[in-house]
């Protein structure tokens, strides 16, 4: 440092159940920038960490899915606010992680902030867009509403360490799911730092859990875990994706396969595809009965 002061390194930790544990394995791995320079040691999560994250996610699901859509929107917007205040930190981390210029990295962070805002606004609209009353041929009121699938394992994209990451997390939790996120293996630091933002954004602990480590090693137990309801395979290569999809079939997890668009430009309009991928449609029927004129009683 120019003034000769020795800087203070950050010890990067996982984010599980609202806490910042070290990996249960006690192991770390070296994370370097795009030129191979050492940046930090990241926790190398174990299968046990993945299982703990499932427990935390399940525990958080009832409260988060039961929160009002308005409340979830407020919290997602709060994430954007907190992130806005730490733009420089994230720009630095993204620049290091992805080898981007300062200005390009800043643009990526801005886009990520805006993405939180986009999804914050979706929380109380998606129900009207994909749900509604069905005009059944009988004396029944019939309403379809979208509901969150449950606990979702998310393999974050390997290349887009921050905008891609935010783009896969936000739609999952916007609708009331809880998430276990496996950060980009090569560039996990922005994800681990995001945990610090989430922890200070009124997001209940366990709604998002962030793990770093070897993607395949962590994804395998999640794909076969009977208490995980869905899996987003965005961060898996074709071989791994197929293997995980086969494992996921054991309890018929909803599976979002890697799409060509996922490796491209994350700044494009995300549409609703990622929101609806982890929604169930529940249809509730209730008799109405006739009103007097026909002679019927009610």
Partner 1 sequence: MASAFDYAPAPESRSVVDIAPSYGLFIDGEFTEAADGKVFKTVSPSTEEVLSEVARAGTEDVDRAVKAARKAFGTWSALPGSERAKYLFRIARIIQERSRELAVLETLDNGKPIRETRDADLPLVAAHFFYYAGWADKLDHAGYGANPRPLGVAGQVIPWNFPLLMLAWKIAPALATGNTVVLKPAETTPLSALFFADICRQAGLPKGVVNILTGYGDAGEALVSHPDVNKVAFTGSTAVGKAIARQIAGTDKKATLELGGKGANIVFDDAPVDQAVEGIVTGIFFNQGQVCCAGSRLLVQESVHDEVLHALKRRLSTLRLGDPLDKNTDIGAINSAEQLARISALVETGEAEGAERWSAPCELPSAGYWFAPTLFTGVTQAHTVARDEIFGPVLSVLTFRTPDEAVAKANNTQYGLSAGIWTEKGSRILAVANKLRAGVVWANTFNKFDPTSPFGGYKESGFGREGGRHGLEAYLDV
Partner 2 sequence: MPTTAPAFADATASDSALRRFLHGLPGVDTVGLEARAASLGTRSIKTTAKAYAIDLAISMIDLTTLEGADTPGKVRALAAKAVHPDPTDRTTPRTAAVCVYPDMAATAAAALVGSGVKVASVATAFPAGRAALDVKLADVRDAVAAGADEIDMVIDRGAFLSGRYLKVYEEIVAVKAECGSARLKVIFETGELSTYDNIRRASWLGMLAGADFIKTSTGKVGTNATPANTLLMLEAVRDFREQTGVQIGVKPAGGIRTTKDAIKFLVLVNETVGEDWLDNHWFRFGASSLLNDLLMQRQKLSTGRYSGPDYVTVD
Binding region for partner 2 (CB under 8 A):
139-140, 287-290, 292, 295-298
Select from 7-15, 105-113, 158-166, 247-255 the region that touches partner 1 (CB under 8 A): 247-255
Class of residue 231 by CB neighbours under 10 A (exposed 0-12, middle 13-18, buried 19+): buried
From the list partner 2, partner 1, none, partner contacted by residue 298 (C-beta under 5 to 8 A by kind): partner 2
Q: How far is the CB of 138 from partner 2 (least distance, A)?
A: 8
Please state, in angstroms and rounded to a whole number, the distance separating the CA atoms of residues 178 and 131.
21
Of 252 and 291, nearer to partner 2 (C-beta) is: 291
Per CB under 8 A, the list member of 6, 252, 268, 291 interacting with partner 1 is 252
Per CB under 8 A, the list member of 287, 292, 294, 297 interacting with partner 1 is 287
Of 62 and 289, nearer to partner 2 (C-beta) is: 289
238 binds partner 1 (CB under 8 A): yes
CB 144 within 8 A of CB 170: no
CB 20 within 8 A of CB 189: no
| Nearest partner of 227 among 81, 60, 91, 104, judged by Cα | 60
124 binds partner 1 (CB under 8 A): no
CB 116 within 8 A of CB 76: yes
283 binds partner 1 (CB under 8 A): yes
Q: Which two tokens stand for residue 172?
A: 């999952």
């Amino acid at each position: 440092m120019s003034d000769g002061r020795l800087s203070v390194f950050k010890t990067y930790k996982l984010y599980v159940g609202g806490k910042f544990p070290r990996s249960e394995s006690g192991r770390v791995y070296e994370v370097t920038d795009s030129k191979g320079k050492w940046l930090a040691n990241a926790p190398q999560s174990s299968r046990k960490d993945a299982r703990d994250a499932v427990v935390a996610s399940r525990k958080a699901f009832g409260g988060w899915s039961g929160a009002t859509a308005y409340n979830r929107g407020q919290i997602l917007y709060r994430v954007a606010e907190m992130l806005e205040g730490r733009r420089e930190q994230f720009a630095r981390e993204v620049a290091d992680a992805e080898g981007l210029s300062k200005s390009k990295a800043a643009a990526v962070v801005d886009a990520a902030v805006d993405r939180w805002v986009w999804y914050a606004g979706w929380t109380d609209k998606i129900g009207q867009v994909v749900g509604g009353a069905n005009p059944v041929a009988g004396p029944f009121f019939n309403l379809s509403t979208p509901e969150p699938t449950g606990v979702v394992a998310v393999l974050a994209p390997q290349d887009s360490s921050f905008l891609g990451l935010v783009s896969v997390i936000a739609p999952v939790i916007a609708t009331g799911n809880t998430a276990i996120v496996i950060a980009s293996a090569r560039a996990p630091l922005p994800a681990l730092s995001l945990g610090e933002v989430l922890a200070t954004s009124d997001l209940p602990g366990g709604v998002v859990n962030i793990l770093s480590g070897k993607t395949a090693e962590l994804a395998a137990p999640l794909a076969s875990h009977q208490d995980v309801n869905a899996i987003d395979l965005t961060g898996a290569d074709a071989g791994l994706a197929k293997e995980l999809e086969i494992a996921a079939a054991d309890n018929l997890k909803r599976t979002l396969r890697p799409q060509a668009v996922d490796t491209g430009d994350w700044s494009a309009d995300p549409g609703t595809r990622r929101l609806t991928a982890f929604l169930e449609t529940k249809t509730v029927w209730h008799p109405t009965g006739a009103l007097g004129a026909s002679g019927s009683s009610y």
